Amino acid sequence: MISQSARRSSRKANGSGCGNKGNRLIAACALALVAAGSVSGCAGLGDLRERVSEFGSTVAAGFRKLRGLEPAPPTPAPPEASEPETSASVQLEATPGQSAPAKDYKPEVRDAEAINVKAACSARDETGYREDIAIEVADGEVKVLSARVDVPRRGFCRFDLSDFRQTRRLPHVELAASSGSSCVMFMWEQEGKVTVAANECAEKCTSDTFDYVWPLRVDAATGSCS
């Protein structure tokens, strides 16, 4: 979520207390990564990958303990669509008896893969932070979207498809608020996970709850909240 001046002030004011926990966690992450790199010389690659994977799961669990206790980080931007190789980056070798390909050769351009997901799930952290979402997207077209996020001691946010209009389906999905405000919902898929993120959507929440809302993630294969 792109911070506004008021939200920046709020986050500065919350820099102590739980914020210190976040800083300690980040420091622990850095130290652990250094440690993981130091064992690469004596451990097999497969073992190292397993260690890093376990470490990633531990870090993710640690951050979940902070959800609802301190402001969420800015909404991550959807990943850029991979660009097809151009004639400048593609070099084709001529086979015996054939001339070299023309310099203006351009490979076929392929569209980004559209999102396909159908899920209805709920998840609750030990802090009381709760997510409920029902979503259905077929070939990049949003058919169903109903989500609610409850932040303990603050309030809740609701996001319903009836309050938005779809403005993009590729390379990621975008939904603009029908109210004409700057509120936008983004959806993208990466490594089998579909992320649903709201940007500048405080109008969909009570009080200052939006400052504490994290992007929702759904497993495209199982339909579970992740």
What would the pLDDT profile of 108-125 be if each residue is shown by its tens digit? 444 578 999 999 999 999
Amino acid at 185: M
Cβ burial of 131 (10 Å; 0-12, 13-18, 19+) is: buried
* Domain annotation covers residue 184: yes
| 37 and 124 fall within a common domain | no
Within a domain: 145 = yes
Q: DSSP E strands: which ranges in 23-153?
A: 117-124, 130-138, 141-151
Nearest alpha carbon to residue 72 among 12, 156, 11, 129: 11
Cα–Cα distance, 154 to 101 (Å, whole number) = 64
Radius of gyration of the CA atoms of the chain, in A: 22
Is residue 55 domain-shared with residue 143, that is, in the same domain? no
Q: What is the pLDDT of residue 81?
A: 58
Is residue 122 located within the same domain as residue 38?
no
**60's tokens:** 């993710």
What pLDDT, in 10s, does the model give residues 113-156?
Answer: 899 999 999 999 988 999 999 999 999 999 999 999 999 999 99
Q: Does residue 205 form part of some domain?
A: yes
Domain identity same for 121 and 59: no
Domain that holds residue 202: 117-219
Q: Look at residue 39 and tell me if it is in a domain.
A: yes
Which residue positions in the chain have pLDDT lower than 70? Answer: 1-66, 68-69, 81-111
- Provide the pLDDT for residue 135: 98
Statement to judge: residues 121 and 196 lie in one domain: yes
Determine the pLDDT at residue 68: 62
Last residue of a domain, one of 64, 89, 108: 64
Token readout for 26 is 């980040």
Domain boundary among 64, 87, 109: 64
Give the pLDDT confidence score for residue 47 in this predicted structure: 57
- pLDDT for 74 equals 77
Give yes or no for a contact between 140 and 155, defined as CB atoms under 8 angstroms apart: no
Q: In this structure, is residue 74 part of a structural domain? A: no
Q: Are residues 126 and 36 in the same domain?
A: no
pLDDT value of position 71: 79
- Asked whether residue 93 is domain-assigned, the answer is no
| Same domain membership, residue 124 and residue 46 | no
For residues 126 and 60, state if they share a domain: no
Within 8 A by CB and 6+ apart from 117, the residues are: 135, 136, 137, 189, 194, 218, 220, 223
Give a yes or no: residue 78 inside a domain: no
Identify the pLDDT of residue 111.
54
64-to-43, 69, 70, 71 alpha-carbon distances in Å:
30, 10, 11, 12
Q: How many domains does the chain have?
A: 2
Contact by Cβ (8 Å): 216, 196: yes
Distance from C-alpha of 216 to C-alpha of 218, rounded to nearest angstrom: 7
Residue 136 belongs to a domain: yes
Confirm if 163 and 204 have CB atoms less than 8 A apart.
Answer: yes
Contact 145, 159 (CB under 8 A): yes
Instruction: From 189, 190, 166, select the one nearest 177 (Cα to Cα).
Output: 166
What per-residue confidence (pLDDT) applies to 78?
85
